[in-house]
């Protein structure tokens, strides 16, 4: 199929892009990587009257670490750029590992990190990782901007806290604390497919015990699913088979995943428990 008719504008400055999106006379969409939007246009699932291409705005193509040690990812920074960046791989390896699971190289070479987050497919890797890492987002509109933490950003399937006249200009990821181990695991029918179940894990060691834990799943709900009950089964206890088993039981008791043509709800729940056991061991080994 072919997309419906639309106007295309590629402004060179952010204020101009925001002005265009604030025009209530036309339904506008932001174009960055286009790996989700273009297929939707071709299938006419989206029929905007205006595409605002933000890839020529220099300030949105910045990737770096700020004075506070936080990673800042501009709206037009490609996924492949993030995955290959030495600072990201050293300081935020969970993010780099998750990005490398997205689709195929051709997709990562065009797709943007912020674009995937705003699109918010609940089976995608990056929303779960953003929640695990306590990321926050700068959301701009004509006349001002606001900051939204990841916990408030994802509202439902393909729905985020971004209004039609707004642009997510950057994602900000705080630094990991010393002694934090990580793991990212997922199960998919084929390499490059969306995950039937995925899991991001962060563990911080406190001697032989778990000092803190963050467990966030993708593919098991309409938003990334954090499981505090499983985290509580780990924190303050010596890491081992007993704590892992209790955490897995908590996951099985709490998760209520959907069933679809790719996997049943029961299979997803059992897969989530299996992934957890493997990911916890991997993350704990990395705490040292």
- 58 lies in some domain: no
Is the domain of 197 the same as that of 248? Answer: yes
Last residue of a domain, one of 173, 206, 231: 173
Last residue of a domain, one of 173, 208, 228: 173
Which CATH number belongs to the domain containing residue 111 in this structure?
3.30.465.10
Is the domain of 70 the same as that of 169? Answer: yes
6's tokens: 């639309």
Is the domain of 158 the same as that of 214? Answer: no
- 131 lies in some domain: yes
Is the domain of 95 the same as that of 149? Answer: yes
Closest CA to 254 of 230, 274, 236, 280: 230
Total domains present in the chain: 3
Euclidean distance between CA atoms 75 and 82, whole angstroms: 12
- 59 lies in some domain: no
Is the domain of 41 the same as that of 128? Answer: no
Is the domain of 126 the same as that of 160? Answer: yes
Is the domain of 187 the same as that of 227? Answer: yes
Is the domain of 18 the same as that of 41? Answer: yes
Is the domain of 27 the same as that of 127? Answer: no
Is the domain of 153 the same as that of 187? Answer: no
Domain holding 26, by residue range, is 7-53
CA–CA distances in Å: residue 82 to residues 16, 89, 113, 114, 183: 27, 8, 8, 11, 18
Beta strand 28-31 with 50-53 is parallel
Is the domain of 260 the same as that of 202? Answer: yes
Is the domain of 223 the same as that of 259? Answer: yes
Which CATH number belongs to the domain containing residue 28 in this structure?
3.30.43.10
pLDDT in tens for each of the 288 residues of the chain?
688 888 999 999 999 999 999 988 889 999 999 888 888 988 888 899 999 999 999 999 999 999 999 999 999 999 999 999 999 999 999 999 999 999 999 999 999 999 999 999 999 999 999 999 999 999 999 989 999 999 999 999 999 999 999 999 999 999 999 889 999 999 988 777 788 999 999 999 999 999 999 999 999 999 999 999 999 999 999 999 999 999 999 999 999 999 988 889 999 999 999 999 999 999 999 998
């Amino acid at each position: 199929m072919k997309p419906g008719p639309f106007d295309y504008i590629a402004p060179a400055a952010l204020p101009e892009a925001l002005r265009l999106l604030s025009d209530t006379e036309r339904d506008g969409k932001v174009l960055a990587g286009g790996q989700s939007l273009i297929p939707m246009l071709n299938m006419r699932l989206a029929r905007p009257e205006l595409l605002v291409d933000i890839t020529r705005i220099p300030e949105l193509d910045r990737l770096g670490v700020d004075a506070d040690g936080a990673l800042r990812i501009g709206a037009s920074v490609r996924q492949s750029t993030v995955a290959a960046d030495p600072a990201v791989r050293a300081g935020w390896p969970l993010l780099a590992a998750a990005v490398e699971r997205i689709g195929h190289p051709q997709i990562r070479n065009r797709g943007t990190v912020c674009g995937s987050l705003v699109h918010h497919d609940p089976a995608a890797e990056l929303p779960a990782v953003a929640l695990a890492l306590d990321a926050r987002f700068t959301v701009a509109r004509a006349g001002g901007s606001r900051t939204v933490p990841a916990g408030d950003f994802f509202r439902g399937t393909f729905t985020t806290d971004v209004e039609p006249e707004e642009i997510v200009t950057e994602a900000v990821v705080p630094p990991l604390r010393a002694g934090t181990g990580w793991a990212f695991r997922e199960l998919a029918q084929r390499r490059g497919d969306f995950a039937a179940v995925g899991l991001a894990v962060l563990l911080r060691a406190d001697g032989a015990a778990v000092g803190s834990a963050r467990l966030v799943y993708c593919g098991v709900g309409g938003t990334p699913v954090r499981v505090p009950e499983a985290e509580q089964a780990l924190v303050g206890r010596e890491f081992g088979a007993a704590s892992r088993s209790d955490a897995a039981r908590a996951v099985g008791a709490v998760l209520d995943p959907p069933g679809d043509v790719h996997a049943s709800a029961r299979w997803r729940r059992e897969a989530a428990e299996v992934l957890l056991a493997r990911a916890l061991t991997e993350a704990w080994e990395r705490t040292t």
